[in-house]
C-alpha cells in the first residue's frame, strides 16, 4: 500500500508540472495585441538592453501567452531575490491558519530577543555638532509589522549612538547574502540594533520578511528550507525552487548581467553569479530563492485560485483575501510606489486613478532585485510573471512594459 501511495504522489507531481494552455481569443485576449509584447522584447534584446527574458500571462487558470527572448530558456533557473518574500508570507500564513500566532501578537512572544527594542534619533547640539541617541520603543513590533514592512528595519540600518551604521558592525548590511551564520543568529544580531522609527508607523523596506522567516522556523520547529519544501514546493509540484542548486542543475542557472555605462548590459562579476551553487548558511526568507517560470507560475496560480491548485489546498480562501488587503491605511508609505498600499508581503493597487498604471483596483504584485516580477489580478482572474537577470535592475523598463502590454491585450 505504501508503494502504491508513493507512486500515486509521484504521478500527481508529474502531471502538476503541466500548465494548461488556451487560445488567447477563448479567454478574452487579442492575439494580435499580445504579439506586441514579442515585438518590443525582441527590440530590447537586439538593442542590447537585456540578454534574455521570459514572460507568461494566464487567465482563468490557463496560459494565453508564454515566450522566451534572447538567451533565456523555458527551463532557465533564475535568482528570484525579493520574489522570495511572497513565499515566506504564504509559509507564515499556513502557520497562522493553524493557530500558531496572531497578527497582533508582539514578535517578542516568539523571539524574546525583540523584547527591549530602541529607536534611533539624531539631532544637533548647541554648537551644531550632530549627535546620535536612542530611546525605548513606545509600542512593540507586532507580527503584522513583519509582513507589511512597518517594523522600523531596513537593509542598511540607522546610525547607532556612536554615529556608526548600526548594521555594519553586525555584518548585516545590504541583505547579508554572504553571511557565515544562520537565520537564528542573523535575527539575534538585528534585535540588538536600533530601529529607524517607532514600530507600526511607516513602511520601510528591509529585513522584516527575513525575521518573518525566522518566525516560521520557531513556530514550525523546522528550518525554513524544510518548511518550504514540505508545505509549499512539494505539494505544488515546484521541483526547481530552492535556496541553492545541486550540480546537475548548474547548467540551467541563468547568467546574471549588470548595466553598462552608456547603455547595454554585461556579464556581472557579482558573487551572486555563482553563489547559488551551494547551500547558504543564512536562509534569507526575503531574498534567497531560485526558481523557474513553471514553478513560480504554479505558486502564483495557487494564489489567484484563492489558495489551491490542482486539488491541493495551501491556504484558505479568506486567508488569501486577508493577505491581499491593504494593511497600511493612513500610515506613512515611505518609498512605496504612489497609488499602492501594502498587504501581507504584497503591494496592493488602490485603483488605476491613484496608481496611474493600467490594471485593476485590488491587483497585487511584487518583484525582485534582478528585474523579476509577478502580478495577480483577482477581478480579471489574471496573472503575469516576468523573468530577467539584470542586477541592479533600476532603469530596466521591460518588466513594467510587459505588464502594461499584457493588460492592453485584454479585450473581453
Q: What is the CATH number of the domain that holds 338?
A: 3.40.710.10
- 109: phi then psi, degrees, rounded to nearest 5: -65, -30
107 and 178 fall within a common domain: yes
- Predicted confidence at residue 247, as pLDDT, reads 98
Rounded CA Rg of the chain:
22
- Predicted confidence at residue 321, as pLDDT, reads 98
CA distance 61 to 27: 10
Burial-class residue 260 by CB neighbours within 10 Å (0-12, 13-18, 19+): exposed
Using DSSP bridges, classify how beta strands 340-342 and 312-313 pair: parallel, antiparallel or unpaired.
Answer: unpaired
Domain ends where: 181, 202, 220? 220
340 assigned to some structural domain: yes
Burial-class residue 3 by CB neighbours within 10 Å (0-12, 13-18, 19+): exposed
- Predicted confidence at residue 8, as pLDDT, reads 42
331 and 202 fall within a common domain: no
387 and 246 fall within a common domain: yes
342 assigned to some structural domain: yes
47 and 192 fall within a common domain: no
> For the chain, what is the mean pLDDT?
94
7 assigned to some structural domain: no
Domain ends where: 220, 245, 267? 220
- 86: phi then psi, degrees, rounded to nearest 5: -65, -35
193 and 174 fall within a common domain: yes
CA distance 4 to 2: 5
Using DSSP bridges, classify how beta strands 118-124 and 382-387 pair: parallel, antiparallel or unpaired.
Answer: unpaired
340 and 366 fall within a common domain: yes
50 assigned to some structural domain: yes
Domain ends where: 220, 236, 271? 220
275 and 315 fall within a common domain: yes
CA distance 395 to 295: 27
227 and 214 fall within a common domain: no
Angle at 233 between CA 101 and CA 15, to 5 degrees: 135
Using DSSP bridges, classify how beta strands 364-367 and 257-259 pair: parallel, antiparallel or unpaired.
Answer: unpaired
27 assigned to some structural domain: yes
**For the chain, what is the domain count?**
2
116 and 192 fall within a common domain: yes
How many Cβ atoms from other residues are within 10 Å of residue 154's Cβ? 18
79 and 100 fall within a common domain: no
Q: Take residue 130 and report the three cell numbers written for it.
A: 550632530
Range(s) of the domain holding residue 54: 18-84+223-408
What SS3 state is found at 405? helix
Q: Take residue 380 and report the three cell numbers written for it.
A: 480579471
283 and 299 fall within a common domain: yes
Q: List the pLDDT tens digit at each of the 412 positions of the chain.
A: 444 434 444 444 444 558 999 999 999 999 999 999 999 999 999 999 999 999 999 999 999 999 999 999 999 999 999 999 999 999 999 999 999 999 999 999 999 999 999 999 999 888 888 999 999 999 999 999 999 999 999 999 999 889 999 999 999 999 988 899 999 999 999 999 999 999 999 999 999 999 999 999 999 999 999 999 999 999 999 999 999 999 999 999 999 999 999 899 999 999 999 999 999 999 999 999 999 999 999 999 999 999 999 999 999 999 999 999 999 999 999 999 999 999 999 999 999 999 999 999 999 999 999 999 999 999 999 999 999 999 999 877 999 999 999 999 999 9
As beta bridge partners, residue 264 has: none
Residue 294: which of 14, 11, 6 has the closest Cα? Answer: 14
* Contacts of 411 by beta carbon, 8 Å cutoff, 6+ apart: 28, 29, 30, 33
**8 Å CB contact between 383 and 372:** no
Query: Cis (ω within 30 of 0) for the bond into 382?
Result: no
Residue 325: which of 351, 346, 303, 343 has the closest Cα? Answer: 343
**8 Å CB contact between 41 and 371:** no
Residue 328: which of 339, 317, 315 has the closest Cα? Answer: 339
Residue 157: which of 134, 126, 127, 125 has the closest Cα? Answer: 134
- Predicted confidence at residue 383, as pLDDT, reads 98
**8 Å CB contact between 360 and 340:** no
**8 Å CB contact between 390 and 106:** no
Residue located via cell numbers 523555458: 74
Core vs surface per residue 179-200: b (16+ CB within 10 A) or e:
beebbeebbbbbbebbbbbbbb
- Predicted confidence at residue 124, as pLDDT, reads 87
- Predicted confidence at residue 229, as pLDDT, reads 98
**8 Å CB contact between 194 and 151:** no
173 assigned to some structural domain: yes
The answer for 122, left when phi > 0, alpha when psi is -120 to 50, beta otherwise, is: beta
- Supply the pTM of this predicted model: 0.94
- Predicted confidence at residue 17, as pLDDT, reads 53
Amino acid at each position: 500500500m505504501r508503494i502504491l501511495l508513493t507512486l500515486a504522489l509521484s504521478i500527481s507531481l508529474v502531471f502538476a508540472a503541466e500548465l494548461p494552455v488556451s487560445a488567447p481569443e477563448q479567454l478574452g485576449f487579442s492575439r494580435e495585441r499580445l504579439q506586441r509584447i514579442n515585438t518590443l522584447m525582441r527590440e530590447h534584446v537586439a538593442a542590447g538592453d537585456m540578454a534574455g527574458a521570459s514572460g507568461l500571462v494566464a487567465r482563468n487558470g490557463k496560459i494565453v501567452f508564454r515566450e522566451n527572448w534572447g538567451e533565456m530558456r523555458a527551463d532557465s533557473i533564475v535568482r528570484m531575490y525579493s520574489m522570495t518574500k511572497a513565499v515566506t508570507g504564504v509559509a507564515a500564513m499556513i502557520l497562522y491558519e493553524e493557530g500558531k500566532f496572531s497578527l497582533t501578537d508582539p514578535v517578542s512572544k516568539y523571539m524574546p530577543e525583540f523584547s527591549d527594542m530602541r529607536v534611533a534619533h539624531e539631532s544637533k547640539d548647541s554648537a551644531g555638532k550632530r549627535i546620535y541617541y536612542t530611546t525605548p520603543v513606545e509600542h512593540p513590533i507586532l507580527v503584522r509589522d513583519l509582513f507589511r514592512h512597518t517594523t522600523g528595519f531596513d537593509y542598511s540600518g540607522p546610525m547607532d549612538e556612536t554615529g556608526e551604521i548600526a548594521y555594519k558592525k553586525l555584518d548585516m548590511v545590504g541583505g547579508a547574502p554572504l553571511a557565515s551564520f544562520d537565520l537564528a543568529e542573523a535575527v539575534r544580531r538585528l534585535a540588538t540594533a536600533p530601529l529607524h522609527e517607532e514600530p507600526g508607523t511607516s513602511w520601510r523596506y528591509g529585513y522584516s520578511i527575513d525575521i518573518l522567516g525566522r518566525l516560521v522556523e520557531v513556530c514550525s520547529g523546522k528550518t525554513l528550507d524544510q518548511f518550504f519544501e514540505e508545505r509549499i514546493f512539494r505539494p505544488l509540484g515546484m521541483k526547481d525552487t530552492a535556496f541553492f542548486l545541486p550540480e546537475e542543475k548548474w547548467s540551467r542557472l541563468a547568467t546574471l548581467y549588470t548595466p553598462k555605462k552608456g547603455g547595454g548590459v554585461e556579464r556581472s562579476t557579482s558573487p551572486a553569479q555563482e553563489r547559488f551553487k551551494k547551500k547558504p548558511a543564512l536562509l534569507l526568507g526575503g531574498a534567497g530563492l531560485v526558481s523557474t517560470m513553471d514553478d513560480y507560475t504554479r505558486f502564483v496560480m495557487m494564489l489567484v485560485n484563492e489558495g489551491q491548485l490542482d486539488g491541493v489546498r495551501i491556504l484558505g480562501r479568506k486567508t488569501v483575501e486577508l493577505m491581499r488587503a491593504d494593511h497600511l491605511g493612513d500610515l506613512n508609505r515611505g518609498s512605496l510606489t504612489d497609488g499602492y498600499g501594502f498587504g501581507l508581503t504584497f503591494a496592493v493597487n488602490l485603483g488605476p486613478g491613484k496608481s496611474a498604471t493600467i490594471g485593476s483596483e485590488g491587483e497585487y504584485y511584487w518583484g525582485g532585485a534582478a528585474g523579476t516580477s509577478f502580478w495577480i489580478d483577482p477581478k480579471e482572474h489574471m496573472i503575469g510573471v516576468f523573468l530577467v537577470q539584470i542586477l541592479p535592475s533600476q532603469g530596466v523598463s521591460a518588466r513594467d512594459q510587459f505588464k502594461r502590454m499584457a493588460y492592453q491585450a485584454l479585450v473581453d
